[in-house]
Chains A and B, each alone.
Chain A
Amino acid sequence: MAATNIPTGGAHAQEAPHVQHHATGDHHDEHHDHHDQHWLSKYVFSQDHKWIAKQFLISGIAWAFIGATLSTLFRIQLGWPDANLSWLEPILGRWIDAGKLNPEFYLALVTMHGTIMVFFVLTAGLSGTFSNFLIPLQVGARDMASGFMNMLSFWFFFLAGIVMFISLFLETGPAAAGWTIYPPLSALPQAIPGSGTGQTMWLVSMALFIVSQLLGGVNYITTVINLRTAGMSMAKLPLTIWSFFLTAILGLLSFPVLFSAALLLIFDRSFGTSFFLSDIYIGGEALNHVGGSPILFQHLFWFLGHPEVYIVIMPAMGIVSEVLATNARKPIFGYRAMIGSLIGISLLSFVVWAHHMFVTGMNPFLGSVFMFLTLIIAVPSAVKTFNWLATLWRGNIRFTSAMLFAIGFVSLFVSGGLTGIILGNAALDIQMHNTYFVVAHFHLVMGSSAFFGMFAGVYHWFPKMFGRMMDEKLGYVHFWLTILAAYLVFIPMHYVGIAGFPRRYYAYTAYETFNQFGNLNTFISIAAIMAFFAQFIFLFNFVYSIFRGRRATENPWGSTTLEWTTPIEPGHGNWPGAIPAVYRWPYDYSKPGAPEDFIPQHVPYSQTVSSNLPYEKEME
């Protein structure tokens, strides 16, 4: 089914949209006429996947700094619970009350940090950037299947961001029921002020965000299936594309369930239904809600929520596979096993959600089933790790900034992933549930490591995005400071977690049990602030390099994939001439007998007679 309706032969940039005329109809023709590069349609409402990717990236970076700032604020509170914080008054205003951070605002900070990082940065910023940028370039397409839907995808995300951003400044504060917004807390403004307008805006923002994800996801899937260039069979796709493809499928299947949960919650909040509410006495009155189940919401939420962590991590896995192979100058080890494990993870990710709910009062038998399924998912994850290690083995490693972050990714993924074996065990989760052990686990395995995957991607594909190189030395400093800080923050968090510290606590001073680890919390906070400041090195490098960085060459990393066959700054349509056809898999690095240590995908076997393997002879 590969490559049937591909625009070939001298297709000009304009030709790409023609391919999908039947899909978008009149709509598209209108836009077509505006295609005379009006600045608005070139830089703002662009339908070029590369520009949309940059839009996602830059919004993602902006959100990452907002999210990190929020975490720095609550880390200050946790590290120095007795300190006078009136110096923060110029920023936080009346949320600082007599030198103390407002406990409800503390919860809002935690909530918004989680929401922003998970959805806006690691979903939109990561998938949005690299799926958009790399799918057409690496499969050999002129653009996404529907440039218009792709544009809408970004602008729905942008709108979601605006709504969420405004909610930060509400008088009653933004949503404060945790990023998982469990009702009844999230449904009742009487329970916490953040569940008033703040929560409404959170839900509206998330609904817009889901629309954005679905528009993007449909596009990614369609493009990968239909717009691969001649010869690009599914078994020749780079692992990046496989990971983006499966990620999009996960998103498409799971985000609608979150949408339904959000919708039902909106009904409970505003229209008096009782999907999630029952037997509640609050604010001096018994509410009329009877028969709902708060646990039902958790099932719906985690049916998205768990695939969501794989939506976050799988693109990073794909990027890392690509960067490791390129810079180790070695084929990725076990290409098919890598695809197989991605598919395994994707399938299993849909049947493990209730491991977030072992101690909610859910039937213990379900707990047993989900423990079994959860621990099984460790197997494909282990396979991936071993394959990465085998890829490094006997390589010839060039430490580019991207490579450092890819290696860092593997390290963090292992460190964080292993503790999942504890948390996935229902019997052990009784003690560990909702403690800092969980916080440490997921921040390593899907927070930090996904960030590392994203950094690896940015450093690696920056030359293709902006036609210039990022500064390597600053990249090195950024990497070493960041990985050091990440471990200094999250390793001690495990200790605090084993000691039973509950998460989302404003202070631990009220407890005899928890007041012994005060110093460690201060230590974690210092490391977190260090991590935060290290990111400014990246920001400087990023902005500086866009304008003043060293000019890139066409294929600066000696890479095999198709995006490096485009001009240094590809225009709309990606290739000025015909789209190159593909003859080989994307990992022909250091092939014996080849003159160079890489053979790009578009080089036919007839040109590489000296290095062809026995079974490749017939393809000459």
Chain B
Amino acid sequence: MIALGILLALVLLLVVFGLLFRLQILTSIFSGSYVRQIGLSNRVNAILMLVFLVVGMAAFAYSFIDSFDKMNPPIASVHGLHTERLFWTTMIIIGIVFVLTQVALFVYSYKYQYREGRRAFFYSHNNKIEVIWTVIPAIVMSGLIFGGWKEWTNIMGPAPKEAVELEVMGKQFNFLVRYPGRDNKLGRINFRLIDAGNDFGFDLNDQKALDDFTTTEIHIPKGVPVLMHIRSRDVLHAVYAPHFRVQMYAVPGMPTKFWFIPTKSTDEMRAQTGNPNFNYEIACNQICGKSHYAMKATIIVDEPDDYVAWYSQQKSFAEQNPDILAAFKNKKTPVIEEVPAATSAAPAATEKAQAAL
């Protein structure tokens, strides 16, 4: 009943608007302003152009400054500081171009509005100007490309040998984490071995897998390179850790990786932000289904000593699941050989998989 009332009110409102509109047209026909093409409204629009520019720029500047603190997630990685500098340098350059072109656009619109008796300047081309405004952007772009390329190759280059390794596996709708254990080598896993008890699909026939352990929280040491192997066991996901300026897709069938050096421990960041609840978060950043928006993980950055202590306390998957280990011992036939390309998480295989593309 209420809906009907609202609908009726809306219809009436529309009718009123329609009538007013018609009335306005009829009066303008009688007053003779209906056919005149260039009248007062041309002047009004020209002034509005100027108003839009000034008010718009002011509002932009105000809102930008007002939101500036919030829009910058604090940085906690070495390469993050570099890309951040590159980002704001680029922002300044495009900001200058933005202001210049918008000012030119709206000021010209105002300044060269129609005037009775004036004639536009017949000026069809000027090749010298064209060359100038082709070459200058090209030079600026080359500079930006070079800056970006240098950072990109550094970030994507091979991880240092001493890097701490771990693997993150995306699944609907959380991230699983495993560490290589004492041997520092991630063991073989196989998606065909996944079941309720063996979330990761550990192949415990592989010696290297025996000391691998899984955790719910990701711990990494401060100041040490961290090599994160990334994979998915169902659909695409993306590991996105905004504070570390880290992002990489998790692709089923194609292991990926990203390495970075965290610079601030979680405790330090809590002190810096004044937020005792602060946590580094990983967000899934590739649409993956119903709970995509809640697919996250927490990263704890420890002081190196704390990290070593935490690491040595962890119990391996095999140790925690003796029944699964026993099942592997009973059934010797290795299943893994069927899918050689994707079962090894070793960096070499990752590179091969990437080179294949």
Binding site for B on A (CB under 8 A): 90, 103-104, 107, 177-178, 182, 184-185, 188, 191-192, 277-282, 286, 290-296, 328-331, 333-337, 359-364, 366-368, 371-372, 375-376, 378-379, 382-383, 385-387, 389-390, 392-399, 404, 407, 410-411, 414-415, 418-419, 421-422, 425-428, 430-431, 433-435, 471-474, 476, 480, 483-484, 487, 491-492, 495-496, 498-500, 502, 504-508, 510-514, 516-517, 520, 540, 544, 550, 587, 589-592, 597
Binding site for A on B (CB under 8 A): 3, 18, 21, 24-25, 34-35, 37-38, 41-42, 45-46, 48-49, 52, 56, 60, 63-64, 67, 70-73, 80, 82-83, 86-87, 90-91, 93-94, 97-98, 101-102, 104-106, 108-109, 112-115, 118-126, 129-130, 133-134, 137-138, 141, 144-145, 147-149, 151-153, 155-157, 171-172, 191-192, 194, 201, 230, 233-236, 238, 240, 242-243, 245-249, 251-256, 275, 277-279, 281, 283-294, 296, 338-339, 341-342, 353-355, 357
Question: Looking at A334, A364, A407, A427, which has the most chain B CB atoms within 10 Å of its CB?
Answer: A427
Question: Looking at B56, B235, B247, which has the most chain A CB atoms within 10 Å of its CB?
Answer: B235
**Which chain A residue shows the least CB distance to B148?**
A425
A contact residues around B138 at 8 Å (CB): 376, 379
B63 CB contact (under 8 Å) in A291, A329, A495: A495
A contact residues around B144 at 8 Å (CB): 375, 421, 425
A-B contact pairs, 25 of them (CB 8 A): A177-B287, A185-B287, A191-B234, A192-B289, A279-B233, A333-B124, A336-B125, A337-B125, A359-B238, A360-B251, A371-B148, A396-B119, A397-B112, A399-B114, A407-B106, A414-B98, A414-B101, A419-B94, A430-B245, A495-B71, A505-B293, A512-B277, A514-B283, A544-B21, A587-B124
A182 touches B123 (CB 8 A): no
| Interchain CA distance A107-B298 in the complex, whole Å | 25
Q: In angstroms, how far is the closest chain A Cβ from the Cβ of B243? A: 7
B contact residues around A590 at 8 Å (CB): 119-122
Q: In angstroms, how far is the closest chain B Cβ from the Cβ of A109? A: 13
| Interchain CA distance A41-B288 in the complex, whole Å | 47
B254 CB contact (under 8 Å) in A295, A378, A386: A295
- 4 residue pairs, one from A and one from B, having the closest CB atoms: A278-B253, A361-B256, A364-B156, A500-B242
A contact residues around B120 at 8 Å (CB): 328-330, 394-396, 589-590, 597
| Known interface pairs A360-B249, A431-B83; 14 further A-B residue pairs with C-beta atoms within 8 A, sorted by A's residue number | A107-B290, A280-B252, A282-B234, A334-B129, A361-B248, A362-B354, A363-B357, A414-B98, A425-B147, A426-B148, A427-B155, A428-B90, A511-B283, A512-B278
Q: In angstroms, how far is the closest chain B Cβ from the Cβ of A420? A: 9
Known: A511-B281, A513-B73. A364 touches B121 (CB 8 A): no
Q: In angstroms, how far is the closest chain B Cβ from the Cβ of A132? A: 28
A contact residues around B284 at 8 Å (CB): 502
B contact residues around A591 at 8 Å (CB): 122
A contact residues around B283 at 8 Å (CB): 500, 502, 511, 513-514
B247 CB contact (under 8 Å) in A294, A387, A431, A510: A431
Question: Looking at B34, B124, B245, B284, which has the most chain A CB atoms within 10 Å of its CB?
Answer: B124
B145 touches A411 (CB 8 A): no
A contact residues around B109 at 8 Å (CB): 392, 397, 407
| Interchain CA distance A426-B45 in the complex, whole Å | 41
B87 touches A361 (CB 8 A): no
Known: A294-B236, A430-B83. A495 touches B67 (CB 8 A): yes
A550 touches B34 (CB 8 A): yes
| Interchain CA distance A333-B72 in the complex, whole Å | 41
A182 CB contact (under 8 Å) in B113, B192, B236, B240: B236
B contact residues around A517 at 8 Å (CB): 67, 70-71
B contact residues around A178 at 8 Å (CB): 287
A279 CB contact (under 8 Å) in B252, B279, B292: B252
| Interchain CA distance A507-B291 in the complex, whole Å | 10
B contact residues around A511 at 8 Å (CB): 281, 283, 296
B194 touches A281 (CB 8 A): yes
| Interchain CA distance A505-B155 in the complex, whole Å | 28
| Interchain CA distance A422-B341 in the complex, whole Å | 35
| Interchain CA distance A297-B239 in the complex, whole Å | 20
- The number of inter-chain residue pairs (CB within 8 angstroms) is 374
A398 touches B38 (CB 8 A): yes
A397 CB contact (under 8 Å) in B113, B129, B234, B240: B113
Question: Looking at B71, B101, B141, B287, which has the most chain A CB atoms within 10 Å of its CB?
Answer: B287
B contact residues around A434 at 8 Å (CB): 238, 240, 247, 285-286
A182 touches B286 (CB 8 A): yes
| Interchain CA distance A587-B156 in the complex, whole Å | 50
| Interchain CA distance A337-B357 in the complex, whole Å | 37
Q: In angstroms, how far is the closest chain A Cβ from the Cβ of B161? A: 19
Known: A394-B120, A499-B72. A389 touches B101 (CB 8 A): yes
A426 touches B279 (CB 8 A): no
**Which chain B residue shows the least CB distance to A589?**
B120
**Which chain A residue shows the least CB distance to B339?**
A290
| Interchain CA distance A347-B27 in the complex, whole Å | 53
A504 CB contact (under 8 Å) in B101, B234, B292, B339: B292
Known: A382-B137, A499-B73. A335 touches B125 (CB 8 A): yes
| Interchain CA distance A295-B338 in the complex, whole Å | 22
B contact residues around A492 at 8 Å (CB): 63, 67
B contact residues around A396 at 8 Å (CB): 112, 114-115, 118-120
A500 touches B73 (CB 8 A): yes
A491 CB contact (under 8 Å) in B63, B134, B201: B63
A427 touches B86 (CB 8 A): yes
A291 touches B247 (CB 8 A): no
Q: In angstroms, how far is the closest chain B Cβ from the Cβ of A113? A: 13
Q: In angstroms, how far is the closest chain B Cβ from the Cβ of A548? A: 8
**Which chain A residue shows the least CB distance to B90?**
A422
A contact residues around B126 at 8 Å (CB): 333-334
Known: A389-B105, A495-B64. A394 touches B289 (CB 8 A): no
A398 touches B137 (CB 8 A): no
| Interchain CA distance A548-B268 in the complex, whole Å | 70
| Interchain CA distance A421-B138 in the complex, whole Å | 12
A431 touches B254 (CB 8 A): no
**Which chain A residue shows the least CB distance to B295?**
A510
A498 CB contact (under 8 Å) in B37, B72, B93, B355: B72
A contact residues around B290 at 8 Å (CB): 103-104, 107, 192
B contact residues around A104 at 8 Å (CB): 289-290
B contact residues around A498 at 8 Å (CB): 71-72
**Which chain B residue shows the least CB distance to A474?**
B21
A contact residues around B296 at 8 Å (CB): 510-511
B contact residues around A385 at 8 Å (CB): 101
| Interchain CA distance A407-B192 in the complex, whole Å | 59
Q: In angstroms, how far is the closest chain A Cβ from the Cβ of B63? A: 7
B70 touches A516 (CB 8 A): yes
**Which chain B residue shows the least CB distance to A184?**
B235
| Interchain CA distance A4-B153 in the complex, whole Å | 55
| Interchain CA distance A591-B82 in the complex, whole Å | 54
Question: Looking at A188, A395, A473, which has the most chain B CB atoms within 10 Å of its CB?
Answer: A395
B contact residues around A484 at 8 Å (CB): 52
Known: A379-B134, A431-B83. A334 touches B125 (CB 8 A): yes
**Which chain A residue shows the least CB distance to B101?**
A414
Known: A188-B235, A397-B112. A278 touches B289 (CB 8 A): no
B281 touches A513 (CB 8 A): yes
A418 CB contact (under 8 Å) in B35, B94, B281, B342: B94
Known: A278-B342, A334-B125, A414-B98. A504 touches B287 (CB 8 A): yes
B87 touches A431 (CB 8 A): yes
A191 CB contact (under 8 Å) in B115, B155, B235, B238: B235
B contact residues around A421 at 8 Å (CB): 90, 93-94, 141, 144
| Interchain CA distance A104-B98 in the complex, whole Å | 38
B contact residues around A378 at 8 Å (CB): 137, 141
**Which chain A residue shows the least CB distance to B245?**
A431
Known: A371-B148, A397-B46, A504-B287. A333 touches B83 (CB 8 A): no
